[in-house]
Amino acid sequence: MTIPMRHIVYVGCALAGKVYSLRSALQRNHRPLPASDYGLRTAGHRVALMRDGRAFVDLRVRVSDRRATMTAYEPDTRDLQLCAEIEEIAAADGLIMVLDSRIGREEANVKAFDYLQRDLASRGIELASKPVVFQANKRDLDDIVTMDWVRENFKTSRSFYVESSAMQHTGTLEAIRAVLHLTNAVR
């Protein structure tokens, strides 16, 4: 029996916890981690997710980090690395948008969402066509936005919401499972 393969990209504003979220999810699934975070930011990481000692999905994941740090950017940029990253986001089966839940980070989250929509549109893709899990990260902190605020400001026709704390290893694997469910890789 062949297992499904899915390509997932983590997106979101800088410092939202994208890399920590991916590392946490891999650790929770008892998967080997790359030697450094650099590999997750510059190239995809392939991993078989396990359930009951058996692989149930072949996952290719990547963190879109370059895009998150470049706010003054036009879709026709000559930055080849950035263009390649946007192409990878466009080609992904599903996205996990990691949101920084801290009060004061609302504008950064909204801008990242706007950039995501604009980047996809520059490639002829509507965000509504992509499964997106909105992972509200840093929920273990005190001054955070409400989940109602998250749901009001971040929605697509194929979305799901997960509360997480990557540092506490909560919600990170659930975000991957949710995006796999939205992409019909698992039921």
How is the chain split into domains, by residue range? 5-182
Stretches in the chain below the pLDDT threshold 70? 1, 33-43, 68-77
Q: Which helix (H) or strand (E) element contains residue 110? A: helix 106-122
Which residues pair with residue 160 across a beta bridge?
133
- Per-residue tokens: 4: 């499904």
pLDDT at residue 38 in the model:
64
Pick from 164, 146, 74: which is nearest to 106 by CA? 146
Of 53, 119, 57, the residue nearest 86 (C-alpha): 119
- Look at strands 45-51 and 54-63 and give their pairing: antiparallel
Q: What pTM, to 2 d.p., does this model score?
A: 0.93
Give me the pLDDT at residue 85, please: 87
- DSSP class of residue 141? S
- CATH architecture of the domain 5-182 equals 3-Layer(aba) Sandwich (3.40)
Q: Residue 83: its pLDDT value, please?
A: 83
pLDDT of residue 162: 98
Residue 166 corresponds to which tokens in the numbers above?
Answer: 């990557």
CA distance linking residue 17 with residue 184, whole number of Å:
26
Looking at residue 11, its pLDDT comes to: 95
Please give the share of the chain, as a percent, with pLDDT higher than 70. Answer: 88
Ramachandran region, residue 184 (left: φ > 0; alpha: ψ -120 to 50; beta: rest): left
Phi, psi of 7 (to 5 degrees): -110, 115
C-alpha to C-alpha distance for 144 and 103, rounded to whole angstroms: 5
